[in-house]
Amino acid sequence: MTNDAPDVFDPRLYAAGPPYAAYRELRDHLPVAWQAEPEVLGWPAGPGFWAVTRHADVVRVLKDAGSYSSALGATQIRDPDPADLPFIRRMMLNQDPRTGPGADDPAHQDHGRLRRLVSRAFTPGRIERFEALARERARALLTAARDGAEDGVCDLVADVTDDYALLNLTDLLGVPPGDRGLLLEWTERVIAYQDPDEPRVTGDDGRPVNPRSPAMLAEMFAYARQLAAYKRERPGDDIMTSLAHGELGGAELEMFFFLLTVAGNDTVRGAAPGGLLALAQHPSQRAVLMNHQVAVDTAVEELLRWHPPVLSFRRTAVRDTELAGRRIAAGDKVVVFHASANHDERVFSDPHRLDLTRAPNPHVSFGDGPHVCLGAHFARLQLRVLHEEALRVLPRTELAAAPRRLVSNFINGIKSLHLRVS
């Protein structure tokens, strides 16, 4: 399969930010476009995939688990090692609801049960109790960054947002303070695996090792078991206590710890600096927020639309089907691009303009359908609190250097954000 579609696969493209011009060309002319998967940065070539870029089609794929499976090939663009697939399918993210393929297979029918169990732990009441702590932490980190800024310039990623996201998550999970650095190390290993500047593990053949393989996650899983045992003896008001005393099996608990550690940390870790960057680049919109002309909750939704923390997710076609006039064969990879859907002119008026008053705002930054983000409420709370405190502590911000972005076609990460603050 070949066409003249612009490339939106190469992770190196994203070092300059999401390729919005290429997304628009695809939306206008090839909304479901075949993409090649050449070898890049040491990762082997793949068979290719369909890139889905229009909002309506992205939502359709995310909602239709009967046609587009999370279990058949998992949810990353690159195919996992076939030997690792049964292990990867133990994670809720890589399962289908009962209506999906393999509904009679016990290994693939637990999605709804697991979501219900975790939802009980991820209660709004428990999350709301973290608001005061998150606010105190945001204020302290922002104040220290401002007061310690050399020549008035600080790196809000290193000084504020990395710690803010990590410490909030470890409080929610109930991770002891001395162990919190481990979670950051594990997150970076899994999320930043495409970036040549980040640490990576290579095999005997010199190729990078999949960070989601059983061997690479063994250390994290062992820690999850130890933490669960600790919580059974010393329970607290945290999610790991709820999970350790709940109905989850040992392997399920390990996978949830992995999912919450990586996804729970990196959602806010990606969205927070992206929102602060957008406000620094759009001072008139920041003034709208400063002058209370829009609710912070509404502004946060626009900042999430503008800078979604996750760029793409993969599904696999269950059967021969058709999408936007394209014939898709059973077994083909189908990848939805959240950042493109969030800029679709068919849904958003003037989508390339930051408008903090935009409403309604049906962005897909937290996904849609049966896999919509379980921690979205927690993420929104953290982002609202951070922006409220940033307006108080940093009434003026100005971009002091171009941001350094993560080399990734999966996570919309910012590695450094130098702002002049006062």
| Out of 30-34, 95-99, 110-114, 141-145, least confident range | 110-114
Domain residues for 44?
11-421
* Of 253 and 16, the one with more pLDDT: 16
> Contact, 305 vs 49, CB < 8 A?
no
Q: pLDDT at residue 88 above 90?
A: no
Confidence (pLDDT) at 200 = 66
Choice among 22-26, 117-121, 171-175 with the minimum mean pLDDT? 117-121
Q: d(Cα 187, Cα 379) in Å, to the nearest integer?
A: 17
Amino acid type, 131: E
What is the number of helices (H) and of strands (E) in the chain? 16, 12
pLDDT over 80 at 135, yes or no = yes
Average pLDDT over residues 90-100: 77
- Residue 248 in any domain: the answer is yes
Residue 150 exposed, middle or buried by CB count within 10 Å (0-12, 13-18, 19+): exposed
Count of CB atoms situated within 10 Å of the CB of 140: 15
Residue 155 Cα distances to 7, 269, 330, angstroms: 32, 14, 47
Kindly state the average pLDDT of the residues 373-386: 92
pLDDT(50) > 70 = yes
343 pLDDT exceeds 90? yes
Q: Give the model's confidence band at 100: pLDDT under 50 very low, under 70 low, under 90 confident, else very high.
A: very low
219 versus 102: the higher-pLDDT residue is 219
For residue 18, the model assigns a pLDDT of 97
What CATH number corresponds to the domain at position 155?
A: 1.10.630.10
- The full 3-state SS of 185-222, as one line of letters, equals HHHHHHHCCCCCCCCCCECCCCCECCCCCHHHHHHHHH
The predicted structure's pLDDT at residue 204: 64
Find the length of the chain: 422
Least confident of 113-117, 333-337, 384-388: 113-117
Q: Does the residue 6 lie in any domain? A: no
Residue 54 confidence (pLDDT) above 90: yes
Distance CA 219, CA 237 (A): 25
**Angle value at C-alpha 332, between 86 and 329, nearest 5 degrees:** 130
The residue among 3 and 346 whose pLDDT is bigger is 346
Whole-number pLDDT of residue 83:
87
Confirm whether 2 is domain-assigned: no
Integer-rounded Cα Rg, in Å, for the chain is 21
For 76, residues 6+ apart whose C-beta sits below 8 A from its C-beta are: 212, 314, 410
Mean pLDDT rounded to a whole number for the chain: 89
Mean pLDDT of 192-199: 76
Specify the 3-state DSSP secondary structure of 79: coil
Residue 274 is predicted with a pLDDT of: 98
Enter the DSSP assignment of 338. H
pLDDT of 104 reads: 54
pLDDT score of 29 more than 70: yes
For 389-407, the pLDDT digits (tens) are 999 999 999 999 999 999 9
Mean pLDDT over residues 206-227, rounded? 80
CA distance 379 to 169: 10
pLDDT at 107: 45
Inside any domain, residue 3: no
How confident is residue 2, by pLDDT bands cut at 50, 70 and 90? low
The pLDDT of residue 205 is above 70: no
Beta carbons of 53 and 337 less than 8 angstroms apart: yes
Looking at per-residue pLDDT, the higher value among 244 and 32 belongs to 32
Q: Which of 312, 410, 302, 271 is nearest to 58 (CA)?
A: 312
What's the whole-model pTM score? 0.92
What pLDDT, in 10s, does the model give residues 258-307? 888 887 788 999 999 999 999 999 999 999 999 999 999 999 999 999 99
The count of domains in the chain is: 1
Two tokens, residue 78: 């690159």
pLDDT value of position 3: 64
Helix then strand then coil, % of the chain, to nearest 5: 50, 15, 40
